[in-house]
Structure 1
Amino acid sequence: SIQGRVDLRTRLQCKPFRWYLDNVYPELKTPVEVQAVTGVLRQGDRCLETIATTMAERQPAVAMGHCIGQKDVSAVTQEWTLTPSHLVRQQQRCLALVSPAPGGPVSLTLLPCNRGDGKQRWHRRGRLIRHMASRLCLDATGTDVSVATCQHDSSAQQWELQPS
């Protein structure tokens, strides 16, 4: 009987291995994410990329920049993974829509990946990338990246995922 081991796990409040992968080592690419797609998110000759921010801001920001990778080799700052768990991931950080105050303005940033965080969940449908909680779409104008009401005919919301 394995009841003794089950009782021990309960008494020690052991976490499942998936918890370890999600919280301790999220950057590990596991077989569970076989359906994940990695590449650059582009609009014409511009690609979504991370940019350095000041120490006071502490969180990386996103912007549009000229696509700098070569064929089949993307730049690290422009490579994204769209996961089956609806994360837009770059290494161990994920794209998130945050608001410093309830009801206040929202901004895009990168946070440590957490599949349970609604701020980080996105859905790709066709060429739109929609934030699941706010139902707003990823929108780029010039170098600025933000979210806006989804419009299927808006070129600012048309994203092409070019696998790397």
Structure 2
Amino acid sequence: MRGHVILSHGTGSGPQATKVSVLADTAEALGYSTERPDYRDCDALGEAASVAPRVARLVERIHAAPQPPILVGSSMGAFVSGLASLQAPCRALFLMALPVGLPGAEPQFDMARDVPSMLIHGFADELCPADAALAFADRVGMPALLVADGHRLSDHVATIDHQFRLFLEHLSA
């Protein structure tokens, strides 16, 4: 096994969501084990109130992993992946449609800075402004790919999958 990948879905989605399912398949094809925690019960608490229980669940999964995992997240899944990386060791972060702030939620977004990372974001993201996500990526030196898409990134699943494959191959080199 090359490593372990934990894929976190966004609010209003689930562990079988398209992006996390495609990326899980890619990771498994490359020899990684994967898991996709289900956060839908946390999401029922409301956006801001779901952050702490989501982070706690992810930190628990990180500690249970066979080795420091690669954290993958979309939207709220990206937000909590970054926060969890500050509380438990991870090998890398692959983030999509990143909200850098959530109304009423504390803390605001941050992440481990000592691991490989990548951001993919849509410049027409109607929920998480691209400018804020790209400014954060620039501030921490995180590579970013900006695509012509909205928040769901549904027109670029193949592009995201290709970038994820390259990201994993680079980690394994």
Q: TM-score, normalised by structure 1?
A: 0.27
Question: Where is the helix percentage greater, Structure 1 or Structure 2?
Answer: 2
TM-score, normalization by structure 2: 0.26
Larger radius of gyration: 1
